[in-house]
Structure 1
Amino acid sequence: MERRHTRKFVRTFFTSPTAVEGEDDSAKMIRRAADLRGMQAPDVWVPDNEDATAPSMRDEGAQNIIDVVSEKGGDFPGEIHPRIVWHRDSPTTRYQGFQHMLTIADPDNGAVENIDGFVIPEVGGIDDWKKADEFFTIVENEHGLDEGSLAMSVIIESGAAELAMRKLRDEMGKPDNNLERMFLLVDGEVDYTKDMRAITPTGGLPPWPELRHNTSRGASAAGCIAVDGPYDDIRDVEGYNERMKNNQAKGMLGIWSLTPGQVVEANTNPLPPKTGSWLLDADGREVELTEEDGVFVYDGDRISLEEDGDEYTLTVGGDTQTLDEEELQSELLDLASYVPSMDDIVDSMAEFEAAKEAGTGAIAITRAATLRVDGVEVDIANDRMWDEATYQAAQTPITLFQDVYENRPDQHDELAEMYGADVVERATDVGN
């Protein structure tokens, strides 16, 4: 199975309507999006000629894509994948999408040289994916493009599409299709909820963690990239970041972005932090400790600590223990966890690489800190064994950074400002 796309990761999938009714310039939204740069510019920009554009405006929207992408697409720093209309149950809709693909991809119109692929919504079972792929092949042959040169991404918006992901790996590479063109698997939770006939008391969307897991798994198995769906509450930055944190634990590092502000959050969130931090499990709530002169301070009311000679009284929630110093260190170590910085990860990887070069298969890396709770300071330290498996797992965020650095030169200055030029240089070299 040949992977035809070079991107290892996509952090941001940003859609913008291709034609806006009642405006002197109906293309103003995609014209504005085409000018985004740096952290405001997505990894994948999707001029959206489906849900974001009124049905009566879609022919004009297709022409707007041609006009804007032919003029500005060559300078856009991310990939460009227009979304066309499609529906598993509507041949008429599929034909309309096919006609728009033919028009947009016509070399005489000047846009296709800046277009990386198309996004297909509302797909059904695997046979429907193969229909779409066949249309791609016809478009490529009609316009003298290399077969497979246009990437295909799909929106998972139905139970049938979710089940189709399990069959994708077996279908790719067969001589009767070009499904190796597959690029992104993107969740569309709104239409998925409708298709599943799901009901919640508030009328809001269910969380659908299973869908995200299945999409991430399907992408991993088929050599594609998983992207989560839109987060509609665009002012809830904390909720958006929490969603990304939960997704990343499933291997889904990309997310739909509805505004340039969300793009900035989604571009930076999966990258390793600039500085390391200690967290404390405060009776089920994870709290980031504040650093003061090298000491990490807990300032809350869920944990209390009193010192009386050689004994300590530790209270977590409603649980109180009397401990000696060693027992206290052990308890706090169980409650504490460390979030490594970019520099920390690079240091650890470099240390393991040097040990492996010297013939050592595993090393212990120590992490130590002084914690302060209610004015009482306690030193904690733990040793983590690094072997080849640990090294490979730690490499994922660095590989993400390297992929970003290679594919987004417009973000180099911001990355250097974020981490420092020395850390960036080391991060681009380690693991290679």
Structure 2
Amino acid sequence: MAALDKRTHDLKFVRTFFTTPTAEQGEADSAKKLRSAIGLRGMQAPDVWVPDNEDATAPNMRDEGAENIAEVVAEGGADFPGEIHPRVVWHRDSPETRYKGFQHMLHIADPENGAVENIDGFVIPEVGDIDDWKKADEFFTIVENEHGLEEGSLKMSVIIESGSAELGMEKLRDEMGKASNNLQRLFMLVDGEVDYTKDLRAITPTGGLPAWKELRHNTSRAASAAGLIAVDGPYDDIRDVEGYHERITANNAMGMLGIWSLTPGQVVEANQSPLPPAEGYWLIDADGREVELETEEGVEVYDGDRIELEAEDGGYELEVGGDEFFCETEEDLVAELLDLLDYVPSMDDIVDSMEEFEAAKEAGKGAIAMTQAATVRIDGVEVDIAQDRMWDEATYQALQTPITLFQDVYRNRPDQHGDLAELYSEDVVERAMSVGN
């Protein structure tokens, strides 16, 4: 068996986890939304599509929903560009619910229905402690044996929606690989903050969800330790694109590169957000608020009222919020500004730096300095700034992660090749696919 903390599945990253109701009452075609979702392509198509036969589908429609999944996936699953992982019903405290989910898995995976060759796995919600995960795994094994499928061929993903499930993640490294289970089939750990909030009996003054940063960190850590993929839960305010982007950015900083998407618009945002930007840009800390500088004729311009800068006889007066700094020399001013400024590198910047480091390493150098320079304008005062960053093997490996993500996306999502070439240019894409290999 491969080391637990190494990804063992073909798909190394999941950016988007998109759920769709499997059957809706009152529609001439109850599978209408499934047929629409399976036709998504390019940036609108998720890495993982989840026909949702649990929360998104009414209880009295779930039997029909399982039939719809089998029918729609049999018809169009071969052409769908991402992976397909239906969610079935399950509950740690309800044998009846677990058995119903098992029946739905049996039906969907029946080769006579023609869908299983396009089904990559199933998503199991409402799991409890590690023994409950083993129950689900055993049902997977029974389904595979019942239908003559290879054991372990169906991936299993679980939704962390309880304290017991969160604690169960800590035991994965001890349990995976034992002869008594097939838990190596595990693929994604997905947070479900709504039910988790209910399970922990959490209360907020507004009735909104707590941030649950610890849960997201614990899920990301457990996924890394067990060679799995971490995915955040749904962001319900589908109109708040900026908030969704901020949530993705915060998750990415914890190693959680995937997020639940509720609409094709959210899918587009979540597909693009973890990838390096097409153009690099500067950020400035404006009294606790991160502001992107505007580029005007090669100059990076701050045009706000939280930072003020004035050139005076004998120096510079810099004011940030309520704090005032007097800089006697331009060097002193540059030092103060560098404490406020950060550069976000473009894909081209990252590839350039990696290529430069690879060439230096080939020439026998263990570390090199990379310089990023710009002219910054605040209140009409222009200052030339430059910052150096030492690149060694550790830096190279750390900054290789977004490139590795891009390479995995490019290999697994040929339907996005045109979008990526349009975003970055063919030359940058070709170079990005070559570095780090």
Tell me the TM-score range normalised by the shorter chain: over 0.9
Which of 238, 241, 263 aligns to 2:242? It is 238
Is 1:131 aligned with 2:142?
Answer: no
Are residue 419 (structure 1) and residue 424 (structure 2) matched? yes
* Residue 151 (structure 2) aligns with: 147
For residues 433 and 37 of structure 2, the distance between their equivalents in structure 1, rounded to whole angstroms, comes to 29
> Is the CA contact (8 Å cut-off) linking 2:161 and 2:195 kept in structure 1?
yes
Q: 1:293 & 1:309 partners in 2: Cα distance?
A: 28
Q: Distance in 2 between matches of 1:113 and 1:183?
A: 18
Aligned to 1:119: 123
Residue 397 (str. 1) matches residue 402 (str. 2): yes
Normalized against structure 2, the TM-score is what? Answer: 0.98
Deviation (angstroms), 1:298: 0.4
**Separation (CA, whole Å) in 1 of partners of 2:274 and 2:303:** 27
The amino acid across from 2:393 in the alignment is E
1:281 & 1:204 partners in 2: Cα distance? 29
Q: Deviations over 1:345-400 (max 9, x none)?
A: 00000100000011100000001110000000001111100000000000000000
Amino acid at match of 2:180: D
Contact 1:45 1:78 in 2 (8 A): yes
User: What are the equivalent positions in structure 2 for 1:246-285 lying under 5 Å apart?
Assistant: 246-285=250-289
**1:356-371, aligned counterparts within 5 Å?**
356-371=361-376
Identity of aligned residues (%): 79
Report how far residue 308 of structure 1 moved: 2.1
The separation in 2 between residues aligned to 1:263 and 1:11, in whole angstroms, is: 9
User: Which 4+ residue blocks in structure 1 deviate beyond 4 angstroms?
Assistant: none
Which of 312, 326, 330 in structure 1 is aligned with 2:316? 312
Once residues 341 and 8 of structure 2 are traced to their aligned partners in structure 1, the CA distance between those partners, rounded to angstroms, is 43
Q: What is the correspondence of 1:282-301 to structure 2 with a 5 Å cutoff?
A: 282-301=286-305
Q: Which residue of 2 aligns with 1:21?
A: 25
- Which of 98, 104, 108 is 1:100 aligned to? 104
1:162 and 2:166 are equivalent in the alignment: yes
- Pair 1:345 & 2:350 matched: yes
Structure 2 distance, partners of 1:395, 1:10, is 17
2:16 matched residue in structure 1: 12
Would you say 1:214 and 2:218 are equivalent positions?
Answer: yes
Distance 1:367 1:107 in 2: 57
Q: Which moved more, 1:163-172 or 1:314-323?
A: 314-323
Counterpart selection for 2:413 from 408, 422, 426: 408
Q: Which runs of 5+ in 2 are unaligned?
A: none
Over the residues paired in the alignment, what is the CA RMSD in angstroms?
A: 0.7
> Secondary structure, in 3 states, of the residue corresponding to 1:345?
helix
User: Is 1:176 equivalent to 2:183 in the alignment?
Assistant: no
Question: How do 1:181-220 and structure 2 match up within 5 A?
Answer: 181-220=185-224
Give the number of equivalent residue pairs: 432
* Offset at residue 4 of structure 1 (A): 4.2
User: Counterpart in 2 of 1:58?
Assistant: 62
Cα distance in 2 between the residues matched to 1:322 and 1:234: 45
Instruction: Write the distance in 2 (CA, Å) between the matches of 1:281 and 1:235.
Output: 27
* One-letter code aligned to 2:433: T
Partner SS, residue 247 of structure 2? helix
Give secondary structure in 1 for the equivalent of 2:339. helix
How many Å apart are 1:310 and its aligned residue?
4.3
SS of residue paired to 2:122:
strand
Amino acid at match of 2:395: T
Mark the runs of 5 or more structure 1 residues left unpaired by the alignment.
none
Deviations 1:206-247 (A, max 9, x none): 110000000000100000000000000000000000100110
Task: Report the AA paired with residue 146 of structure 1.
Answer: E
Paired residues of 1:165 and 1:215 also in contact (CA < 8 A):
yes
Alignment partners' CA distance in 1, 2:191 and 2:357: 37
